[in-house]
Chains A and B, each alone.
Chain A
Amino acid sequence: MYRYDEFDERFVRERVGQFRDQVARRLDGSLTEDEFKPLRLKNGVYLQLHAYMLRIAIPYGTLSSRQLRQLALIGERYDRGYGHFTTRQNLQFNWPKLRDIPAILDLLADVEMHGIQTSGNCIRNVTADHFAGVAQDEIEDPRPTAELIRQWSSLHPEFSYLPRKFKIAVTGAEHDRAVIKAHDIGLRLRRHPDTGAVGYEISVGGGLGRTPMIGKVVRDHLPKGDLLAYLEAIMRVYNLEGRRDNKYKARVKILVHEIGAEEFTRRVEEEFARLDGPSVNADPAEVERIAAYFAPPAYETLPETSRTLDAMKAANPAFARWAEVNTAPHKAPGYTALTISLKPLGQAPGDATSDQMRLVADIADEFSHSEIRVTHAQNLVLPYVRQRDLFAIWQRLGEAGLASANVGLITDIIACPGLDYCALATARSIPIAQAIQQRFADAAREAEIGALNIKISGCINACGHHHVGHIGILGLEKRGIESYQITLGGDATENAAIGEILGPGLPAEEVPDAIERIVGVYLAQRVEGESFIDTVRRIGLAPFKSAFQEAAHAVA
């Protein structure tokens, strides 16, 4: 993975010093709260309900074991012994004190980490496919691109006071695991159909929140070397033209929607043509320098499948299930990409304790070249696991309660922190996730239901991606109580779609029943081998709606 050179190192150290200075100027009154707020946000410091929150960037979801151990240490020393992995591949601590944050940032800088641009109206931490570099369906590793963008966007002089936040995601695979269509800019590495050269397909204007939209392609194929100049052109058009009169209309998706994708593209292309590309772009040697850090590890030559694994599976059905569900096909024969579920029963989705972080770091050292990934589904991945080691890993994870065999299944729920932590929330999300997990705790039934993504947000901001959940749950407030609106048919992949509302909102205690009913329709209607989302697409919303409404005791 990428390692800082002397320049990167000095940059994050100076950034910590700058934040220390900003805190001091806030305390002596030189900076008002209104002025300080965006400065702290750009270092990941929020004020939540009960305390401050620190959001730490995990660029494109890649972590070393050393970094994960440092996070565990920070969690213990300055927080309450746990952290929360988010849908943007970041980590949040929920209880830090402002007075401690400069010291925490020092500890992060020690392991080449920071909280830079994890919040605020700037270009946010770049996300990528969590199976980058190992996925079988990959055309090219997206991480060098993501790292280049991370550096280019850091403290950008021109684009640090945008109309609104700006999120970029990159994938290099056929199958979109990075939700690029719900990002302000989505980049997909692709091969040119005629020349075979690898370039970028660029989508702009995706986003969730109160006006969910799917990104529109503005360029089919941008030569790789032109990336930074093209991004500069997009950002300049947005910075000048994006709406600033209304916070809810300030995202680039609204600009693209209001002037149309064609006109937006025209303006970007016009600016791109006028720019002096060579004075903006990174030179090829720099791109190569970055790419070299992402060279694959030295793989052992192994048979395609491991006989040890097969034997262990035959002997132990619980292990077999876990090994089936939580692994993904790997480029290297005999290897697998293992997902560690952070969705065990009874735990908040995405939370991990410091002890759990340390255990995963140890396992990564022993079995995965000391590397860990964070997924947008709030799980962890060990990217370089020999199939024959799976059993040993399973046993170790089991002791720490981390061996849930539910990746991609109904209890692998994405949930934002909701009203248990978040100052903007209108309702809680964590207890809803837990109640649904409880309801579908039976492993056999869960396997029978198969792939199904439930995503929960505690308010219209949609941090829990509910719009693109196969089943989405949105927590609202109605007449002084929490009420939950259910959507169906969303999709976060290359077939990106926004879910549709099934009916009136439900009180919290009725949500598990409603989910049960929806699943019931699917089980009754599916044809052999058909997944939930495919059934929804084939039969449409109507059968689900009527089943839902029969039972719904609407709050309203």
Chain B
Amino acid sequence: MPLLDRNGTKIDAWTRSEGPAIGNLSQALVPWEALAEALPQKTRDQRIGVIVPNTVRIAELKLVLRQLSLVAVAFPAYSDGRGFSLAKHIRNHGFTGTLRASGPLIADQFAYALSCGFDEIELPDTLAARQPVEQWLKARDLISHGYQRGYGDSRNILDQRRAARAADQVRAS
């Protein structure tokens, strides 16, 4: 399935495994249900990622976050926004690995997903065909800044105003 990040199309280096068996895959992506069994098999130079449903409890997920290199949050439909809050939870719990949104998101959600802490989007083929990557890159930049603080945009409007005020004060003093 096509994968893109904020710069465009990306090669997917991860291999999905149906169950807990990760063999000697260097980057194994396992389902949430299989994670508990898969983790003990991990060797030192293997990396493990997990695909979680958007209903997963952060209280449970946070216990394993440190052992994971990638968390893929499933979006069952573009209209189901739980994944955005889950991403915030995951980042707020200090996860610094790759955060992936997986499902039929639409180009108009790209900026939101990035702001909530996602690094990349994995799309179903049909959707990627209908909304090619150029549309995603264009949609990403249509709104240059948001009002919300704490959403990755250090140039959000409130902080820009604050910086302008500080500059005014320096000038005045």
Contact = CB atoms under 8 A, between A and B. Distances in A.
Interface residues of B, number: 41
A280 B85 contact: no
B28 to A, nearest CB: 28
Q: Chain A at the B interface: mostly helix, strand, loop or mixed?
A: helix
B145 A18 contact: no
Nearest to A275: B92
B13 interface: no
B78 to A, nearest CB: 7
A5 B139 CA distance: 24
Interface stretch (A7-15, A67-75, A194-202, A209-217): A7-15
Interface string B78-107: 111110111011001000000000000011
Nearest to B157: A7
Contact of A18 (B112, B113, B115, B142): B142
B138 A155 contact: no
Contacts of A283: 158, 162
Contacts, number: 118
A97 B6 CA distance: 35
B85 A5 contact: no
Contact of A22 (B82, B108, B150): B108
Given A29-B130, A39-B108, A236 B161 contact: no
A286 interface: yes
A275 to B, nearest CB: 8
B139 A151 contact: no
B161 A159 contact: no
A240 B135 contact: no
B165 A240 contact: no
Given A30-B135, A279-B149, A121 B79 contact: yes
B106 A161 contact: no
Interface string A245-277: 000000000000000000000000000001110
B85 A236 contact: yes
B107 to A, nearest CB: 8
A223 interface: no
A124 to B, nearest CB: 15
B142 A11 contact: no
A498 to B, nearest CB: 30
Given A38-B79, A239-B84, A155 B143 contact: yes
Interface string B127-147: 000110001001100111111
A157 B131 contact: no
Interface of B: 78-82, 84-86, 88-89, 92, 106-109, 111-113, 115-116, 130-131, 135, 138-139, 142-151, 157-158, 160-162, 165
